[in-house]
A and B are shown apart, each in its own frame.
Chain A
Amino acid sequence: MGVSMDKKQLVHKIIVMIFFILLMSPFLILLLWAFSKVWTAGSIFPHDWGLRGWQYILNPQNKILSVIGTSIFLSLAVTLVATIISIPAGKALGLYDFPGKNIVEILVLAPIIIPPITIGMGIHVIFIKYGLVDTFLGVLLIHLVVVMPYGIRIFASVYKAMGLKWEEQSKILKANNWQRFIYVTLPFLKPGLITSGILMFNVSFSQYFLTFLIGGGKIVTLPLVLFPYINSGDRVIGSVISLIFILIALIFMFIIERVITDPKQKSSYYYL
C-alpha cells in the first residue's frame, strides 16, 4: 500500500514537473531571442549574442520609449478612475438590498461575458460623432468599461465580508465620514485594492482591439506596437518589446503589493 502510494505520488510529481517545464519554456525562448545577434533559420541556438534589440528600443527615433510612457500612463489613469468608481459601487452591491439590484448585478457582469468587439464597433459611430475618437479621453472611457466590472465585483465581495457592523460601530464613536473611510473601511479594502489594481491595470495594459479602434492609431500603446511582430518582422526586436511588456506588468504587480501590503493577508485574492 505504502509503496504504491509513493509511486502514485511520483507519477503526479512528474506530470506536474513536465507541465511547468512546458509552461516556462516560452519565457526561455523569449530571453534567447532578446539577447541574440545572429540566429539563422534551422539552428537551435543563436550564433552570436548582442543587444541590438535593446539599442533599437532605446533609440528615441523609434519612439518605443514614448509608447511605453503612453501605455503606463493610460493604464494607471484607467486603474485610478476605475478604482474610484468601483469602490462605492461595490459598497452598494455588497451591503445593501434595493429594488433593481438583480439588474445592476447583471449589468456589472455583462462586460466580462459580452465580447469587446461588439461594444467597440457599436459605440464607434457615437465616439466619432462626439469627437472622442483618436483621443486619450476616448480610449480611457472605453477601457473603463472593460476594466470596471472586475473592480466592482471584487469590492462587492470585500464589503459583503466586512458587513455593516464596523461602520455602525464607528458612527457610534462619532467618527466623521472621512475618518470612517480612512481608519475603518480602508484597512478592509486593502486586499481588494491589491487584487483589483493588478487585475484592472493588466486588462487595460494588454488591451489591443479597443485601443486600436477608438485610438485610431493616434493613441499608440505597447500592444499596438507589438502586434505586427507576432507573425512577421524582426524577432529580436519583437522579443525585446515583449520582455519589456512583461517586466512592466511584473513591476507594477510588485509595487502595488508593496505599497498596499497587509501583513496578515498577502496577495492571491482574486475575487470573482
Chain B
Amino acid sequence: MKYKPYLYLAPALLVLTIFFLGGLVFALLQSFGYFPVLGLTQFTLKYYLLVVKQKEFMASLTFTLYIAFVSTFLSTIIAIYLANYMVNLKQKNKVIDFMYKLPIAVPHIVAALMIVFLISQGGFLARIFINLGVINESGQFPPVFYSRNAIGIITIYMWKEIPFITLMIYTVMKNIHGKLNDVAATLKASPWQVFFQVTLPLSMPSIISASAIVFAFSFGAFEIPFLLGATYPKALPVWAYYNYISPDLYNRPIAMVITIILTSVCVMLVGLYYLFMKKYLRQWG
C-alpha cells in the first residue's frame, strides 16, 4: 500500500520532471556555457560576468522589478478593499459578482489591446481631451506606452490582477465573515476594528499567496513589455528574448544567463515574502 501515492503521482511527476525540470536544468547548463551543439562543453562563469557588467543589466532589472512591484502592490490593496466591500454587502450583488469576474476570463493580450485603445495617444481618452480642447493634438497626450514610466503596462496588469486577487480572497473572507464578524459585532467592535483585527489577519494567508502568484507572473511576463515597453531599458524577459533570437548563436548562453537571473530573483523574492509574512503573521496572531 505504501507505493500507492507514488503510483498516483507518477504521470504528473513524469511530465513535470521531463518538461519542467528538464527545461530549468537545460537553461542552467546553457547559462554556464555548456552548449554542445556549438561545441561548447566547458563550464564557465564568463557569460554571467558579461551580463552583470552591462549597463543595461541593472536598468533592466530595476525596470522589471518596478513594474511587478507597483502593479502587484496597487492591485492587492484595491482587491482587499473591494473584497471587503463585497463581503459587507447585505445581500450578494449579482451585477457586481458578474462584473468583477469578467476580466479573469479575458486573456492578457486582449486586455492589452483594449487598454491601448483606451489610454494610448490615439486612444479614446486622448480623443475626449482633444474634443474638450484640453489638448490640441494626440501627441500632447502623456505617453503611457513605450515609456519608462510604464504606466500603460502597469494599468494592463492591474486590470487583470485586481479581479484575480479579489476572487481568491473574497471566498476566504466570506467564510470568516459568516463565522466571526457577528461575534465581533456583538462585542461592539467598529467596522474598522472588525476589518483590521478579524477579517484582515485571518484572510492574510490567501492575500499572501494571491499576491505572490501575481508578482511572479508580472515579473516573468514577456508579451506585454515586449509589445508596449520602452526600447531602453527593456524588461528582463524581453532582453533575454532578443538575445535568444539573435542570429549569433553565441548569444544563446547570454539569454540563458538573463532568464536564470530572472528566475533566481523571482524565486528569492517570493520565498523571502513568504518567510517575512509568516513571521509577521505569527506576531500578529
A residues near B, CB below 8 A? 12, 15-16, 19-20, 23-27, 29-30, 33, 41-44, 84-86, 88-89, 91-93, 95-96, 98, 101, 104, 107-108, 110-123, 125-126, 141-142, 144-145, 148, 152, 198, 202, 205-206, 208-209, 223, 226-227, 229-231, 235, 238-239, 242, 245-246, 249-250, 253, 268-270, 272
Q: Nearest Cβ distance between residue B102 and chain A, in whole angstroms?
A: 8
The interface residues of chain B lying within 8 Å CB-to-CB of A95 are: 5
CB-CB under 8 A for A272 and B168, given A111-B16, A119-B23, A121-B244: yes
Q: Nearest Cβ distance between residue B202 and chain A, in whole angstroms?
A: 17
The interface residues of chain B lying within 8 Å CB-to-CB of A272 are: 168, 206, 209-210, 213
Closest 10 CB pairs of A and B: A115-B220, A122-B27, A206-B107, A26-B114, A123-B23, A119-B23, A89-B12, A92-B5, A88-B8, A92-B8
CB-CB under 8 A for A270 and B220, given A26-B111, A202-B105: no
Contact bitstring B130-171, A, C-beta under 8 A = 1, else 0: 110000011000000100000000000001001100011011
* Residue on A nearest B164 in the bound complex, by CB: A270
Contact: B19 with A110, CB < 8 Å?
A: no
* Whole-angstrom CA separation of A236 from B186 in the bound complex: 57
Determine whether B128 belongs to the interface, using a CB cutoff of 8 Å to chain A: yes
CB-CB under 8 A for A44 and B128, given A89-B8, A114-B266, A115-B237: yes
Q: Nearest Cβ distance between residue A178 and chain B, in whole angstroms?
A: 16
Determine whether B80 belongs to the interface, using a CB cutoff of 8 Å to chain A: no
A-B CB contact pairs (8 Å), 27 listed: A15-B81, A19-B78, A26-B115, A26-B159, A29-B123, A41-B138, A89-B8, A89-B11, A112-B216, A114-B263, A115-B259, A117-B262, A121-B27, A123-B19, A125-B26, A125-B30, A141-B15, A148-B12, A148-B16, A198-B105, A208-B223, A226-B113, A230-B112, A230-B113, A272-B209, A272-B210, A272-B213
Determine whether B124 belongs to the interface, using a CB cutoff of 8 Å to chain A: yes
CB-CB under 8 A for A116 and B220, given A26-B117, A29-B124: yes
Total count of chain B residues near the partner, CB < 8 A: 93
The interface residues of chain A lying within 8 Å CB-to-CB of B65 are: none
* Residue on A nearest B108 in the bound complex, by CB: A206
Contact bitstring B102-127, A, C-beta under 8 A = 1, else 0: 11111111111111111000111001
Selected contact of B228 from candidates A16, A198, A231, A245, CB within 8 Å? A231
* Whole-angstrom CA separation of A24 from B7 in the bound complex: 47
Residues 1-21 of B contacting A (Cβ, < 8 Å): 2, 4-9, 11-13, 15-17, 19-21
Selected contact of B131 from candidates A44, A84, A112, CB within 8 Å? A44
Determine whether B198 belongs to the interface, using a CB cutoff of 8 Å to chain A: no
Contact: B23 with A23, CB < 8 Å?
A: no
| B2, B25, B81, B223: residue with the most chain A Cβ atoms closer than 10 Å | B223
* Whole-angstrom CA separation of A88 from B130 in the bound complex: 59
Contact: A148 with B138, CB < 8 Å?
A: no
Contact: A226 with B85, CB < 8 Å?
A: no
Q: Nearest Cβ distance between residue A142 and chain B, in whole angstroms?
A: 6
Determine whether B240 belongs to the interface, using a CB cutoff of 8 Å to chain A: yes
Contact: A253 with B22, CB < 8 Å?
A: no
Selected contact of A16 from candidates B82, B260, B270, CB within 8 Å? B82
Contact: A144 with B159, CB < 8 Å?
A: no
CB-CB under 8 A for A209 and B263, given A20-B96, A85-B12, A226-B110: no
* Whole-angstrom CA separation of A220 from B212 in the bound complex: 31
